[in-house]
Structure 1
């Protein structure tokens, strides 16, 4: 009898009650007159007289345990049903139309740029947006007091005060990914680096403190300036159309030598002149050049055996030209009227 009492006590303890049907099943099994506990009381007369008192006390304890659990769960279920909110559905109402969203124009152009360069054999590399001065400037041939550092107004996060290469900042270009790539892998290297960059500039129709870049790097034996020109010429034709005119202008960048800027005919005014092209009829789309030997050596690449070229372009500038957008600020204002114009693009 004692073993049976312990077994039923365990059953009562683990019985799960989550709804009224389970509560009723529990009542029938353990609380009602015809329950298993009731049957044990009926069998008490068969217990030896000297054990009957002790067994009776154990049965009363089991009965109280089952009754208390029943009362507690009954109260909880009643309380939950009273607090439940009844929601009525009108099935005659028309359905809510499912409207498709749209990609942001910058995302569309970024994907197109990647597609064009992937077809030319470039893969995609990524790197940190919070960077040290070494990867953002020093390894790219920027001396500590080099005036070229003033070309890019930098958001500094932490000034170490000792070696300037240890300063922490928000990257001003994705060239930091080029340095990490050249440190980690040996040539040949052919990769592009899309990503967000930051510069402390006044926000206007032509400039922003946050924008997006795509940079490219090709390192191998016998890479020449003609390879650079052919690559960017092909890109411009694929992105803007076969009739696009392209020109190269000499320029200066600390990490490339020789360096050049690439212009195309302004697609907004068709070369007549507007505020976007500063009334010249031409718009710069990229900076480029042959990787300076010092940069290769800083990354552990033999500059006597390998050469290469690098380039960088702003995705916002490319998008403005492609879709005739005259104000850079529209990309970050999240105006739905503006974004809906790119549905289906």
Structure 2
């Protein structure tokens, strides 16, 4: 293999730039040519492909987002779109591709693999919902962004003696809600992976009131429902002054943490090693601090799981 490509797809996450940098520089270290694909799979179809040099990825390791940009691409979900993409890869002489992204990006990588094109998936998403890895690139940074926001909101909640409902990202995965809620001592955490009873939530708030507690923090993963709906229900049932904050896309931005920079660097470099070793159709990850790889089809067939012991602990500590 003499020439590889790299692209980012789906939602951006802090640390993607560090992963791009690792792929480019690791490839050049091994005397490979490396090409950056702009705008994800849409750019692949359109031929938005540029040769990368060492200087192309200078001063990006500390920047959030992705220098290669990203875009959704419905066309790539079709056979015709996939064939166009492979034609572009062949046109540029690219023999292997590193795809950095989440579940949807992996689905695209699987399609390329099924067409016989060597592809490696690198997990980049703040949701931490990719099977086959303990952590995804961007999760730690997003987690710290959420924690910082909750810390600030708690100051106001304490000053005004209010209950705050904070909605965080996590349509299908509650990792951000669980980890931030446990780290910030939230009274209640609602995640897609666990059932909840509104009566229990109200009872918990009432117990707090009875012992003199004057403010509370409730964390809601967006996959559970609207934070505003929960806020309204609490106000109606308890006559508590309640405020709702939806953190939104602030969670995706910002300079990546040291953990995410190192994780991205390790995973990006590992992807290049795998291509050089003749591996294809696999995803890289980290498990128990060891770099691993799994068949991409097998990884996609597995359902994301959350540490329910952590969830139980959060309930025990917020009595």
Which TM-score applies when normalising by structure 1? 0.19
Greater Rg, structure 1 or structure 2? Answer: 1
Which TM-score applies when normalising by structure 2? 0.20
Q: Larger RCO: Structure 1 or Structure 2 (Cα < 8 Å, ≥ 6 residues apart)?
A: 2
